[in-house]
Structure 1
Amino acid sequence: MNAPALNEQRVTDADPVASAQQQVMAAGQFAAARGWVPATSGNFSARVDADRIVVTRSGADKGALTPADLAVVNLREPLPPGLSAEAPLHVARYLADASIGAIFHVHSPAAALASRRNARHGVLTLEGWELQKAFAGVTSHLAVLNVPVFANSQDTVALAAEVEARLQNQADLAPGYLLAGHGLYAWGRTGRETLRHLEAFDVLLQLQLEWERNPL
């Protein structure tokens, strides 16, 4: 898995905003090159410090992001206009887990299809795939990892509350969740780790789809 060389400066560095912007811009390029964010879809964010994140504005081409396409947002203040409608989903995750350093959301075909196929179950379970070990903290292909699947909704404030309530009460979680017919949210402690999780998810979802069609 060859993620781009992200600027992983710590928040104690001279310009943590620029570091977070660089992580988001590099992630957008990475995802666009793989066809995961067609037609300006998707949204990306990275933590600046305990109270702030950088997040993509609405309608930006994720493969050609510039600092002007990104907003610095305080997690504990009302969101400013012009952000992606899904910004509340990012904010809720950062507030729920202080260890999260980046959240990337893509509309990859595998995620959209796998989420729809598993929507009625509300969860997609990964087990037995060696690539599961690409997720932070997973040391065996025998681990059982649950990927929650939520119904898609335009009310992202209510959806964020639903997501967080379930994430706090579900065991054996993978570092991501699916929105049915929509796509994948993944997170990690850094931008680099989050990109590794995204790439692993994409392959694992493709494998799972094929397995469900043709189980041995």
Structure 2
Amino acid sequence: MSFHLIPLEEKLKALDELRTVKELFASRGWFPGTSGNLSVRVGGFAEEAFYFAVTASGKDKSVSTPEDFLFVDQQGKPCETTGLKPSAETLIHAEIYRLTGCGAIFHIHTIFNSIISERYGDKGAVPAQGIELIKGLGIWEENAKIEVPVLPNYANISKIAELVPDALKGDIPGILLRNHGIYAWGNNVFEAKRHLEAFEFIFEHIYHSLLLP
């Protein structure tokens, strides 16, 4: 499907959802120094024809303007004439969409996910077991054990994107970049938000557990 054939109401819905999530996450201090990026998919879900709205690069996410978001194609390139630049990490979003078929991806930097990703970076994954909010990821086994993948934080974003396929775990809707932040996704905005909040609880729980004698 061509981007121009996507109904206007679908595009406006994606932008409204992004504004709402951006304002909520900004109120929690999850976008320090213009960091982080958010996206919502629109149009078809075939690999060869999908698009998504994504946060523009370098914007203060604690304020709202008409130039906070733009639409890009499956290569992360703007699909409308615009002076805006997509977030530097748009390629990672595009790869996650291509591989998972998800509907929304949220990426934030917090003290807890940064520290925990560095703590377990050499192991390539963050282990967690028996934490209640693992259920927030849709995993309901008793005393469930999970491992959240950790990828190197290369300066070359395309180099990170190349690692995404091998890092994906079917039941874990997230990937950490070492000493950087978490990418969490879901079938829609509600699910991606739930997954992100669950990950953040898990990382904070692990952090405080490591401090115990």
Aligning the two structures, in what range does the TM-score lie when normalised by the shorter sequence? 0.7 to 0.9
SS state at 1:62 partner? coil
Select the residue among 171, 177, 180 that pairs with 2:178.
180
In the alignment, structure 1 residue 22 sits paired with structure 2 residue 16: yes
CA shift, 1:78, in A, is: 5.8
CA shift, 1:67, in A, is: 4.3
- Number of the residue aligned with 1:102: 104
SS state at 1:139 partner? coil
Alignment partners' CA distance in 1, 2:62 and 2:199: 20
Alignment partners' CA distance in 1, 2:28 and 2:36: 13
CA contact (8 A) 2:76 2:90 kept: no
Q: Which has the higher contact order (CA 8 A, sep 6+)?
A: 1
Question: Counterparts of 1:5-44 in structure 2 under 5 Å?
Answer: 15-44=9-38
- Number of the residue aligned with 1:139: 140
Runs of 4+ in 1 over 3 A off after TM superposition: none
Alignment partners' CA distance in 2, 1:24 and 1:67: 12
Alignment partners' CA distance in 2, 1:175 and 1:105: 12
Aligned AA (1:147): V
Alignment partners' CA distance in 1, 2:62 and 2:196: 16
SS state at 1:146 partner? strand
CA shift, 1:214, in A, is: 2.2
CA shift, 1:212, in A, is: 2.5
Alignment partners' CA distance in 1, 2:91 and 2:52: 12
Alignment partners' CA distance in 1, 2:64 and 2:177: 24
Unmatched tracts of structure 2, length 5 or more? 1-5, 45-49, 79-83
CA contact (8 A) 1:25 1:66 kept: no
Select the residue among 192, 199, 202 that pairs with 1:201.
199
Aligned AA (1:181): N
TM-score (norm 1): 0.85
SS state at 1:181 partner? coil
CA shift, 1:97, in A, is: 1.3
SS state at 1:195 partner? helix
Give the superposed CA RMSD. 1.9
In the alignment, structure 1 residue 88 sits paired with structure 2 residue 80: no
Question: Counterparts of 1:121-136 in structure 2 under 5 Å?
Answer: 121-136=123-138
CA contact (8 A) 1:25 1:64 kept: no
Alignment partners' CA distance in 2, 1:194 and 1:64: 22
Task: Give the fraction of aligned pairs with identical amino acids, expressed as a percent.
Answer: 34
SS state at 1:206 partner? helix
CA shift, 1:33, in A, is: 1.1
In the alignment, structure 1 residue 161 sits paired with structure 2 residue 159: no
Aligned AA (1:19): K
Alignment partners' CA distance in 2, 1:97 and 1:61: 29
- Number of the residue aligned with 2:81: none
- Number of the residue aligned with 2:72: 73
SS state at 2:121 partner? coil
Aligned AA (1:106): I
Unmatched tracts of structure 1, length 5 or more? 1-11
CA contact (8 A) 1:37 1:62 kept: yes
CA contact (8 A) 2:76 2:94 kept: no
Count of residue pairs brought into register by the alignment = 198
